[in-house]
Amino acid sequence: MIKIVTVIGARPQIIKAAALSRAIAKEYSGRITEVIVHTGQHYDANMSQIFFEELGIPAPDYNLGVGSGQHGRQTARMIEGLENILLEEKPDFLVLYGDTNSTLAGAISASKLHIPIAHIEAGLRSFNKTMPEEINRIMCDHASALLFSPTITGYNNLIREGFKTGNSGPFTSDNPAIYHCGDVMYDNTLHFSGLAQKPADVLITGEKYILATIHRDNNTDNPVRLSAIFSALHHFSLKHKQQVIIPLHPRTSGLLQKNLTGNLFADVSDNQFIGIIPPVSFLEMTWLEKNASQILTDSGGVQKEAYFFRKPCVIARPETEWVEIVYTGAGIIADADETRITQALEFFENNPVIDFPAVFGDGKAAEFICGEILKALVR
Ligand code: UD1
Ligand code: UDP
């Protein structure tokens, strides 16, 4: 029996972890034991607890309760807590997801203790180092022993950074293995799509609606950018008499009134077509994605889920790591530019996307990852 410690902390990591926990329970329960550590980076019930209940993830064995804070303080508190747990648990592998501060803290803690790291969602790059996530994922990749890339672009990014194909074990951060294995989020979408639930408090009034999420710091914290995004949605909704449903991240709700310029906050609040709601559960989000006509987002995960559900996606960022979505024509990068967002929404309103080639794997990425972790230990 091998022991892995999985570190999660932010909403998307909890969701991604469901796929691996499910694969372990289904196929590897006699061979892999999983200890789950929640850093406490996200802590509101609708940003954390709800996903454990709904997605059947085992309760965390530890919760560091770190909470919100400046990057350095938040990450440092995680490192301190994780180091103690890793010394106690002595896992064979540490499993990390994505690119958050919880990921970075896990990478630093484990690498100092020479515990090999398996990084799920390795190789993604925005080539924009002003994003905290870009720093986190580069540092995590270069401290990892097993790097699981969901896309071929991510895999090729790793090769460009000097990672080699064909290494043989034992794998360490000096002799890592890289894999192109598909996306655990696609595994989840296939598994949970049929269980999608309409959010009880949301009234859909027309035939079509846009689903939107915004939470990136460069959008929420910048009044010009945040206002450009909301102004575009406001005017599009009025022009087309089309609802815009926005399950709003707590970071954004906390800044909306302060950072929408001029009368925009009042205009958006008075706009009957704009429905700003608290974060919804994963099954509710899945329902909203499945039934939307198009999706506008700065989220990484929501861009991909738009694609899984064959919905066009307007990307409110200057670039994306998920370039396949743009190359296939299913996504348009519109940044936080009111004109570009409006043009992209209008384009997709009039030109539905019909081709969504399979670029995120076969829905079995988690099984593959478990298998490779096991193999890495017996080589
Ligand atoms: C974090 C990740 C980001 C990821 C996002 C997913 C980093 C650097 N950023 O961003 O990559 O896309 O999670 O959602 O790790 N807050 C609450 N309740 C909560 C959680 C957060 O009110 O349960 C509010 C607090 O005001 C907090 C703010 O949101 O200061 C930001 O939270 P934080 O975890 O620092 O970053 P996110 O913006 O959520
Ligand atoms: N999500 C959710 N409820 C919401 C908004 C998002 O369950 O109200 C899910 C979404 O379906 C996806 C994940 O959260 O699986 C994406 O997380 P987020 O946008 O917070 O972070 P990112 O992917 O950008 O890191």
Domain ranges of the chain: 2-183+361-378, 196-350
- The answer, yes or no, to whether any atom of ligand 1 lies below 6 A from the CB of 169, is no
Residue 243 has pLDDT above 60, yes or no: yes
Of 11, 121, 140, the one to substitute when testing ligand 2's pocket (max ligand atoms within 8 A of C-beta) is: 11
Sequential DSSP letters for 295-320: EEES-HHHHHHHHHTT--EEE-SS--
Tell me the fold of 196-350: Rossmann fold (3.40.50)
**Please, what is the average pLDDT of the chain?**
97
Element (H, E) at 40: none
| Intrachain domains 2-183+361-378 and 196-350 with the same fold | yes
Q: Which atom of ligand 1 is nearest to the CA of 71?
A: 8
- The answer, yes or no, to whether any atom of ligand 2 lies below 6 A from the CB of 285, is yes
Torsional sign, CA 333, 181, 48, 72: negative
Q: Look at residue 247 and give its three-state secondary structure.
A: strand
Residue 273 has pLDDT above 90, yes or no: yes
165 CA distance to ligand 2 middle (Å) = 32
Q: Please give the single-letter amino acid code of residue 287.
A: W
79 CA distance to ligand 2 middle (Å) = 24
pLDDT of residue 332: 98
Q: Which atom of ligand 2 is nearest to the CA of 301?
A: 23
11 CA distance to ligand 1 middle (Å) = 9
Q: Which of 119, 215, 234, 249 is catalytic?
A: 215
Mean pLDDT for the stretch of residues 230-247: 98
Residue 379 has pLDDT above 70, yes or no: no
pLDDT of residue 353: 85
CA gap 53, 57 in Å, rounded: 7
CA gap 325, 171 in Å, rounded: 32
Residues 96-117 pLDDT 10s: 999 999 999 999 999 999 999 9
145 CA distance to ligand 2 middle (Å) = 27
Q: What CATH code would you report for 2-183+361-378?
A: 3.40.50.2000
CA gap 312, 332 in Å, rounded: 8
Residue 378 has pLDDT above 90, yes or no: no
Q: Output b/e per residue, 103-120; b: 16+ Cβ within 10 A.
A: bbbbbbbbbeeebbbbbb
Element (H, E) at 133: helix 132-141
Mean pLDDT for the stretch of residues 179-191: 98
Q: Output b/e per residue, 205-243; b: 16+ Cβ within 10 A.
A: eeeebbbbbbbbebbbeeeebbbbbbbbbbbbbeebebb
Catalytic residue status for 234 = no
Mean pLDDT for the stretch of residues 292-307: 98
- The answer, yes or no, to whether any atom of ligand 1 lies below 6 A from the CB of 125, is no
Mean pLDDT for the stretch of residues 272-288: 98
pLDDT of residue 354: 85
Contact assessment for residue 186 and residue 358, using Cβ atoms and an 8 Å cutoff: no
Residues 8-55 pLDDT 10s: 999 999 999 999 999 999 999 999 999 999 999 999 999 999 999 999
